[in-house]
Structure 1
Amino acid sequence: MSPSLHMATAGSGEPVLLLHSGGMSSRQWRRLTDALSPSFRVLAPDFLGSGENPLWPEGEPFHFLKDVEAVERIIADLAGPVHLVGHSYGGFVALTIARRNPAVVRSLTVYDPVAFGVLYHPEDTEALAGVPSAESNDPADGGGPAWMKAFVEFWNGPGSWDALPSVTQNAFLRVGKKVYGEVSTLMRDRTPASDYSAVTAPALLLHGTLSPFAARRVVERLGAAIPNATVRPVEGAGHMGPITHGGMVNDGVSRHLRSAAQP
């Protein structure tokens, strides 16, 4: 069993779980928490090996299902349906939970979820051509400086790693092995888009108009598969839209949650 997760909480009302992107922490949701907490009970966990949790143990294998199961235990303790909001890796975790146990999800909101498995059935060669291998030539270097630079620049463009302040680079590298475990396992996932038809909650699927093509194609396929889904682009935003275009993204999330909340 995976350890429990550190979690920030605020507000009262129907529970909303905010799931952060890989390499980040629950701190990325501070502004959204402020916007939601007057009406909802907001819970923002740090994934395993992230944020205020202990680092993932050196040399211990990691699979994304460990984070999925840790969040599912939080939901079980809440003893009722929750609103799930996730960005990137957190969006993939949210989708996986909603697919595995749709009854526990009152609404779903994801931004650029990394559900790349949907690109294989049928195989989308155009989208997959733009996705670099998640594996390192030397697994011992997975999550290290060269791997992390490639990871950041896939999502944010050439030069984006070097443009980061050294303190931010070091923060990414501190959790690099865990991020490598997340990415290398989710990239082997082959869950087809049709399996996400099990998601019954109203779903808002967001993507940046400047996000990588493969990420936008994932959202397109999910939007066609999930019965009660709305696909909405965020104009001018890239993969980090929840941070760089937080006002636009947070407004969309807030409106979706209010429309899905119990009267």
Structure 2
Amino acid sequence: MIPHINTRAFGAGERPALAIHCSLAHSGMWRAFGDVVGDLVTLHAYDLPNHGQSGDWDGQGVMHDTATAMALRVLDDIGPDPIDIIGHSFGGTVALRIAIEHPTRVRSVTLFEPVYFAAAFADDPGFADRYAADTADFDAALAAQDDEGAARAFNRAWGDGPAWEDIPANARRYMTDRIRFVPDSAPFLLHDSAGLLTPGRFARATMPALVLAGATSPWAADVNGAIARRLPQVQSETLDGVGHMGPVTHPDRVAPLWAGFLKTA
């Protein structure tokens, strides 16, 4: 069942776009991004399940399927197809999946560090071992039912911002309350539950694609590279001095890249 979907829009451009946020954030992360590109596009952003003001995943089936169904419902509301899509981290994996499974609905797709680790695992089994070692503290905290410890470890790996103790208490609580969303994402992100790696499936995504990364991110080069190698029509860019949270921390650098790409897509 698709839960309640909370949406909001940023910018006032004639060209509509769907924006999908990362894990433990909410649709408001696109506000500053919209300020930069708002003359070109109107960003339609939605809260993922268990995030912001959207409803919760009911625990049935695969959570990524629900997040994708929500995105498709928002596309229905935006209309008409095709529509530009941009996604960050987990949101990038939803954008990628829609581009492959529903290519006629997508005018262009932009992915900022999509965490589709399954593609990198398939290309380099050694990467899976490195990833497991790097996330051992997060996994240990989850196993110990220490959700705050897991959120702290997750923020250390992905946040590229303030230390955990310097984050406001309400934001720390928000992330801690939603940290189980991360292991719930594993069937798709780590194990390719939707079968996107089946030969020939990536070839369906023939629209222009832009794959972005921050140079300081620990795993982006491997994952972005594995995705870019499979996409038929792709541009790749890496931003110096930017980390995984680039769309939030550096919208003044990421958004103009996207705008330039849209003008050619």
With over 3 angstroms needed to count, the CA separation of the structure-2 counterparts of 1:68 and 1:121, relative to structure 1, is: same
The correspondence of residues 175-214 of structure 1 with structure 2, limited to 5 A, is: 175-183=178-186, 185-189=188-192, 191-192=196-197, 195-212=201-218, 214=219
With over 3 angstroms needed to count, the CA separation of the structure-2 counterparts of 1:193 and 1:34, relative to structure 1, is: farther
Does structure 1 conserve the Cα–Cα contact (< 8 Å) formed by 2:82 and 2:104? yes
Tell me the CA shift for residue 250 of structure 1.
0.9
Letter in 2 for 1:182: S
Tell me the CA shift for residue 35 of structure 1.
2.7
How far apart in 1 are the matches of 2:198 and 2:158?
22
Tell me the CA shift for residue 189 of structure 1.
2.3
Does structure 1 conserve the Cα–Cα contact (< 8 Å) formed by 2:21 and 2:87? yes
Task: Give the stretch that moved more between structures: 5-14 or 203-212.
Answer: 5-14
Q: Give secondary structure in 1 for the equivalent of 2:111.
A: strand
With over 3 angstroms needed to count, the CA separation of the structure-2 counterparts of 1:209 and 1:137, relative to structure 1, is: closer
How far apart in 2 are the matches of 1:140 and 1:69?
32
How far apart in 2 are the matches of 1:46 and 1:90?
10
Does structure 1 conserve the Cα–Cα contact (< 8 Å) formed by 2:6 and 2:54? yes
Does structure 1 conserve the Cα–Cα contact (< 8 Å) formed by 2:160 and 2:243? no
Aligned length in residues: 257
Q: Deviations over 1:95-135 (max 9, x none)?
A: 01111111111011111100111023233414641342675
After TM superposition, the score normalised by the length of structure 2 is 0.85
Q: Deviations over 1:63-122 (max 9, x none)?
A: 111101111122234231110001100011100111111111101111110011102323
State the identity as a percent.
Answer: 26
Q: Deviations over 1:222-263 (max 9, x none)?
A: 122111101100111111111222211011111112222xxx
Match of 1:233 among 226, 232, 238: 238
Letter in 2 for 1:200: T
Task: Give the stretch that moved more between structures: 173-182 or 44-53.
Answer: 173-182
How far apart in 2 are the matches of 1:178 and 1:27?
18
Residue 121 of structure 1: aligned partner: 122
After TM superposition, the score normalised by the length of structure 1 is 0.86
Tell me the CA shift for residue 28 of structure 1.
0.7
Does structure 2 conserve the Cα–Cα contact (< 8 Å) formed by 1:107 and 1:201? yes
Q: Does residue 226 of structure 2 align to residue 221 of structure 1?
A: yes
Gaps of 5+ in 1: none
Gaps of 5+ in 2: none
Does structure 1 conserve the Cα–Cα contact (< 8 Å) formed by 2:160 and 2:245? no
With over 3 angstroms needed to count, the CA separation of the structure-2 counterparts of 1:187 and 1:135, relative to structure 1, is: farther
RMSD: 2.7
Residue 107 of structure 2: aligned partner: 106
How far apart in 1 are the matches of 2:209 and 2:172?
33
With over 3 angstroms needed to count, the CA separation of the structure-2 counterparts of 1:175 and 1:156, relative to structure 1, is: closer
Q: Deviations over 1:179-214 (max 9, x none)?
A: 4423565223264396423211111100010001x2
How far apart in 2 are the matches of 1:6 and 1:181?
21
